[in-house]
Amino acid sequence: MSEDIFNFLSKSDSVGSDYVRLQDNDKRSVRLLSKPVTGYELFCDGKPVRWSPEAPRPEHAISDERPKKFLAFVVWEYDTESGGDGRIKVWSFTQRSIIDQMAMLFRDDHWTAYELVIVRQGKGMDTKYNLTGVKRPVEENLIAFAQEASKYIDLSKLYTGENPFIEDLPELSVEQVKQDKGNLPF
């Protein structure tokens, strides 16, 4: 009983969000389901202000910080902790280490060839991210959703600060292939 309490307390509450959010020591698995939206981002009054690479910096984007390049994707976030299905989410990030690791991973293969595993360690300026790819085929129902994702999610709304979710998402179920370690010969 007490183990269940500590497991509950140690879990991140960000699972219910429509966005992939990583806390210290989080490990998440995602599958990219869209082409990225790219641009520049900086925070003003605690909120992100984004604009496309072709657009001028918005007049209200007043900050002492330098704008960062960002990428945003529609993703399937696997539920690896409780063994549930997972959810469709938006993953937006500016971390150079993730961008560089993606560029290396996708140099030889299309980005749909990989399930991505992201690990965050540390807090504040001491935060480190690691991204690895697990090469395996994308699930058929995720391909079907990706073909009609624009009905539900418009990532270009991130440029105007609007909610990119334009319709309620359909119910999806994805079975993640798990290896039976009991059948291994070693």
CA 21 to chain centre: 7
| pLDDT above 90: percentage of residues in the chain | 66
On the question of pLDDT at 181 being above 50, the answer is yes
Residue at 102 is within a domain = yes
Q: Read off the pLDDT of residues 120-172 as tens digits, 9 standing for 90 and up.
A: 999 888 899 999 999 999 999 999 999 999 999 999 999 999 999 999 998 88
Residue 174 lies in a domain: no
The H or E element that residue 46 is part of is none
pLDDT at 29 exceeding the cut of 90 = yes
- Is 127 inside any structural domain? yes
Q: Judge whether 107 lies within some domain.
A: yes
What is the Cα–Cα distance from 143 to 140, expressed in whole angstroms? 5
Domain count, the chain: 1
Residue pair 127/8 in contact (Cβ under 8 Å)? The answer is no
- Domain presence at residue 150: yes
- 176 inside domain: no
**Is it the case that residue 180 has pLDDT exceeding 70?**
no
Residue 3 identity: E
Cα dihedral value 97, 101, 102, 108, nearest 10: 160
* Residue 32 covered by a domain: yes
Whether 179 maps to a domain, the answer reads: no
The neighbour count for residue 161, using CB atoms within 10 Å, is 12
- Give residue 114's domain range: 15-58+65-162
- Whether 177 shows a pLDDT value over 80: the answer reads no
58-62, 102-106, 166-170, 177-181: least confident range: 177-181
Give the C-alpha separation, 42 to 92, whole Å. 13
